[in-house]
Amino acid sequence: MRRPRLLLTGARGFIGRQVLAHLDARFDVHAVTRSDGRSDGLAWHEVDLLNPQDCVTLIRDVRPTHLVHCAWETAHGRFWDDDSNRAWLEAGTAMFAEFLAQGGRRVIGCGTCAEYAVSDEPLSETDERTPGSLYGQTKRQLFMMLRTLPVSFAWARIFYPFGSGEGSRRFVPSVCQALAQGLPAHCSSGRQLRNFTDVRNIGAALAALVQHPLVGPINLGQPQSHRIADIAEMLGDIAGRPDLIALGALPDRDGEPAALVPDLQRQSEELKFFPRIAVRSGLNDAYQAWKNKMIANVSNSVASKPSNSEKA
């Protein structure tokens, strides 16, 4: 009997690679990349997903029964109001429509906590208020398009993942890098309440959604939220340099919400998913990984310098 065929976009990205790691052998997995693929036994497809016609051609060629759409531009500091968000919306719309036309059965879409408007209360999937950023708006529009299609789908709204593969300029990596170098880790006041979770938990949850009957939006996160200061101080403690955490050294961003935390009732009660990796454990892994990477970079730099005899 033929295995169901799953197409994973963004398979080499921060979240996509974790989904790939948690998919089981029941699926014939096809992975999408915009650069060269890998000879790892998977079927890799090099496709420019910002071209709607290429998205349509990809779906027609692969004919997946399941689609996990992780791809989107999230370059740190640029993506909130970048015009590329509109291009991703157009491409995703074309992809989902063609997926249905080719007989696809289930879609898992990667949304974001940025789809929510600011609120002092835990954010519920039933909240329909318009978000402020173009990134949040276009993600919300793609979700709204998807829910008009007669196809089984889940839409994951992801809260503050960190860990392996994260961009170096984001909060957790920036603190890790400063601490690993013995430098002050400059932070804002840290009073903001956020929901951080190890990206491996997110990958596991998305993989679980592929075969689960849950339909509609679902928040994905950690049961306990933390202040940004708590996260920084945990990293300082892990590094053995709590004195280097410089809270208040940077200004808080204008208009930044005091709290952005999810209602996780659907995650726990319907999906019955409980994150395996605790926040502190994930932060420990993240710090050690950045520390090892920086040591390796220094070693490679020293090794590449010519010796005195080579100079002569």
Phi, psi angles (nearest 5°) of residue 163: 130, -155
Q: Output the pLDDT for position 312.
A: 44
Give CA angle at 242 (239, 245), nearest 5°: 105
Find the length of the chain: 312
- What pTM was computed for the model? 0.94
Q: Which of 109, 89, 199 is nearest to 154 (CA)?
A: 109
Burial 248-282, CB ≥16 within 10 A → b, else e? eeeeeeeeebebbbbebebbeeebebebebebeeb
In this prediction, residue 162 carries a pLDDT of 98
Please report, for residues 9, 90, 94, 95, 290, the alpha-carbon distance to residue 53 in angstroms, rounded to integers and kept in the order given. 15, 10, 8, 9, 39
Identify the CA nearest to 95 among candidates 80, 108, 84.
108
Q: What is the mean pLDDT of the chain?
A: 93
pLDDT at 304: 66
Structural fold of domain 5-298: Rossmann fold (3.40.50)
Q: Between 280 and 121, whose confidence is greater?
A: 280
- Checking DSSP bridges between strand 193-194 and strand 226-227, what pairing results, if any? antiparallel
- How confident is residue 255, by pLDDT bands cut at 50, 70 and 90? confident
How far is it, in rounded angstroms, from Cα 6 to Cα 25?
11
Tokens at residue 229, please? 């200061």
Residue 233, token pair as written in the block:
């101080």
Give the residue-averaged pLDDT of 180-187: 97
One-letter identity of residue 15: I
DSSP H or E segment with residue 155: strand 152-158
